[in-house]
Amino acid sequence: MLSTKSKGALSPEEKKIKVEAARQYHNDLLVANGLVSTDFNFKYPFTSNNTKIVALFPNEFKKKNGFYMEFCDSNLNPTDPERTVYKIGPIENYEDVYELLPAGTYAVPLEELDVVKKEVKQRVQDFKVDFDTLAEVKDDNITNMTITDFAAIMWMKPVSQKNWLNNLISQNLND
């Protein structure tokens, strides 16, 4: 049986699976920014008139919280090992600002996109614990955590009144 699918092209089902996997990967970021899954998608950067651009659809400029994207290759594989997410908009006058491309999309230069910072939750997951130091301390119950302790953990800055917590944070920052 002959296939009409070109070599290397993804089927609609394969595209759907890859986009959903990216949305799941960035779920914490989407939730933290009050986004729905359709506020995020892959975008394939390319060069037009010696400028690196992405092509955005009119509805992507109109998203209430802006439109979020991750760069990918033509097979929807992320191209950045850090999985950086970019944001644009909302922009009401996009038709006056950006060049209309033949496909009905608009050319947005990459330098006009904002980098979305990774959420603190993701940084806390990477927090390294020195178990030898931790074993030497009488650990407090979480009910004894102060707001300052919580801030120290979230900010990853040694601002707690508990020296052992400040030492853990400082040690992690030095690693």
The sign one gets for the Cα dihedral 43, 46, 49, 52 is: positive
**What is the Cα–Cα distance from 37 to 29, expressed in whole angstroms?**
11
pLDDT reported for residue 56? 96
Half-sphere exposure of 66 (CA within 13 A, CB side): 14
Q: pTM score > 0.85 for this model?
A: no
CA-based nearest residue to 165, from 123, 130, 122: 130
Most distant CA pair in the chain: distance in Å? 72
**What is the Cα–Cα distance from 163 to 175, expressed in whole angstroms?**
18
pLDDT reported for residue 44? 94
Question: Bigger pLDDT: 28 or 6?
Answer: 28
Q: Which of 70-74, 136-140, 154-158, 168-172 has the lowest mean pLDDT?
A: 136-140
Average pLDDT for 155-172: 82
- In this prediction, residue 128 has a pLDDT band, given cuts at 50, 70 and 90, of low
| Number of Cβ atoms within 10 Å of the Cβ of 141 | 6
Question: Bigger pLDDT: 32 or 118?
Answer: 32
pLDDT reported for residue 6? 45
**What is the Cα–Cα distance from 118 to 83, expressed in whole angstroms?**
10
- In this prediction, residue 132 has a pLDDT band, given cuts at 50, 70 and 90, of low
CA distances from 11 to 20, 77, 103, 104 (A): 14, 14, 20, 22
pLDDT reported for residue 134? 53
- In this prediction, residue 140 has a pLDDT band, given cuts at 50, 70 and 90, of low
Average pLDDT for 144-163: 82
- In this prediction, residue 135 has a pLDDT band, given cuts at 50, 70 and 90, of low
- In this prediction, residue 113 has a pLDDT band, given cuts at 50, 70 and 90, of very high
Whether 159 has a pLDDT exceeding 50, the answer reads yes
**What is the Cα–Cα distance from 102 to 130, expressed in whole angstroms?**
57
Written as six digits, the tokens of 3 are 């296939």
Instruction: Identify the three-state secondary structure at position 107.
Output: strand
pLDDT reported for residue 109? 96
pLDDT reported for residue 107? 95
